[in-house]
Amino acid sequence: MRPETQLVHGGRPSEGPLSVPPVLTAPFRGEGYAREEGTPTWEAFEAAIGALEGGESVAFSSGMGAIAAALEHVPTGARVVRPAAGYTVTRELLAERAAAGRIELADVDVTDTEAVARACEGAALLWVETPTNPMLGIAELDRICDAARAAATQVVVDATFATPLLQRPLELGADVVVHSATKFIGGHSDLLLGVATARDPERAAALRHARGMTGATPGALEAFLALRGLRTLDVRLQRAQANAQVLAERLAAHPAVTLVRYPGLPSDPGHERAARLMDGFGAMLAFEVDGGPEAAQAVCERVRVIVHATSLGGVETLMERRSRYPKEVTPEALLRVSVGIEHAEDLWTDLERALG
């Protein structure tokens, strides 16, 4: 089945209810216990994601729970390569482990394929985001994975921005792919959930063990809602990325905007790579405003249809100035936009007015 059909039918039981209901229990009769063995609700969600990704999936209480578990197998003192610019909390987690002496840490621009290949030499793990958060950089994932394999370096990819519909890193050679299912997979800004998928069953078992030992277990209701959200990912994403293309093109022509970052623009540095490696350009964009951080913050405060809030991937359009976070490594006037499924003209009218 094509991914769009797998979204609808993945994780369905072969008999009984059409959808697995929320199983609200910790103990099961006999020796079963949810933290260690999971529940039918988690398993249905994991089966659906695993079918999409081409591996074995493990659900977690949040995206960061999945990210932390994906790092648990790294030996003490091993070298880990992370993106020089990427999701702040992932970078912080790795920095804390390096400061505690648990790992040796190196930064690399994941859009520079040759630099990544060099950085893999002697590294136990390469962490990749593509597209990167929030700069929308596109990694040449197939070549990166080839270089990592030659160096005996494992590759973990955070593909939250791409979703399993637009890119499946395991098919390109990655060992593990993680998603914050809070975002596009859930799709309605009403849950916290993460998921990691491994190509190797033994790696999946290690992820499951880490989940049980750290208690990063998903809630039954959250897993149920995430699976329900997954069913409509295709139609939501089609509308949202069509809107993103319209907004990116118009922002690029606006006199108050100095730079637009969106791989769907032919002028974007990652356009050719995204066209080759992805099945669409996604619903995330970023742009920089003339006038510095004050002008950018003013745009956030003037929007009315677009919501000034953190997070992404929901049906509503969200915007925020990322550099307001102390450890964020982004231009001060950069605004990140998660484009939703509203009418494109209403979104543009709101943006145009906010830009003044």
Of 355, 250, 248, 261, residue with least CA distance to 299: 355
Q: CA–CA distance from 271 to each of 38, 97, 112, 168, 280 (Å)?
A: 41, 34, 14, 18, 11
DSSP notation for 56-102? EEEEESSHHHHHHHHHTTSPTTEEEEEESSS-HHHHHHHHHHHHTTS
Among the options 79, 82, 87, 234, which is catalytic? 87
CA distance 283 to 317: 10
Domain 233-355 is in which class? alpha beta
**Is 250 considered catalytic here?**
no
Structure tokens at 169: 């890193």
69-86: per-residue pLDDT in tens? Answer: 999 999 999 999 999 999
Q: Is 190 a catalytic residue?
A: no
pLDDT of residue 214: 96
Query: What is the CA angle 132-141-111, rounded to 5?
Result: 50
Amino acid identity at 251: L
pLDDT of residue 18: 94
279 is catalytic: no
Concerning whether 168 is annotated as a catalytic residue, the answer is no
Q: What are the sequence ranges of the domains in the chain?
A: 3-231, 233-355
Q: Among candidates 71, 259, 277, which has minimal Cα distance to 159?
A: 277
pLDDT at 193: 98
Q: Give me the pLDDT at residue 291, please.
A: 96
* Residues 26, 40: Cα–Cα separation, whole Å: 12
Please state, in angstroms and rounded to a whole number, the distance separating the CA atoms of residues 50 and 208: 14
Residue in 79, 183, 208, 322 annotated catalytic? 183
Give the closest residue to 204 by CA, choosing from 49, 64, 8. Answer: 49
Q: For the chain, how long is the longest CA-to-CA vector?
A: 68
The pLDDT of residue 328: 81
CB atoms within 10 A of CB 200: 14
Nearest CA to 336 out of 246, 247, 205 is that of 247
Q: Write down the pLDDT at residue 216.
A: 97
In this structure, are residues 126 and 155 in contact, taking their beta carbons and an 8 Å threshold?
yes
Q: Mean pLDDT per segment of 10 residues, for the chain of length 356 residues? A: 95 94 94 92 98 98 98 96 96 97 98 98 98 98 98 98 98 98 98 98 97 96 98 98 98 98 98 98 98 96 97 98 85 97 98 96
User: Out of 79, 82, 97, 158, which one is annotated catalytic?
Assistant: 158
Residue range 3-231 in CATH 3.40.640.10: yes
3-class SS of residue 136: coil
Q: What is the per-residue pLDDT for 90?
A: 97
Mean pLDDT of the chain: 97
Contact 67, 158 (CB under 8 A): yes
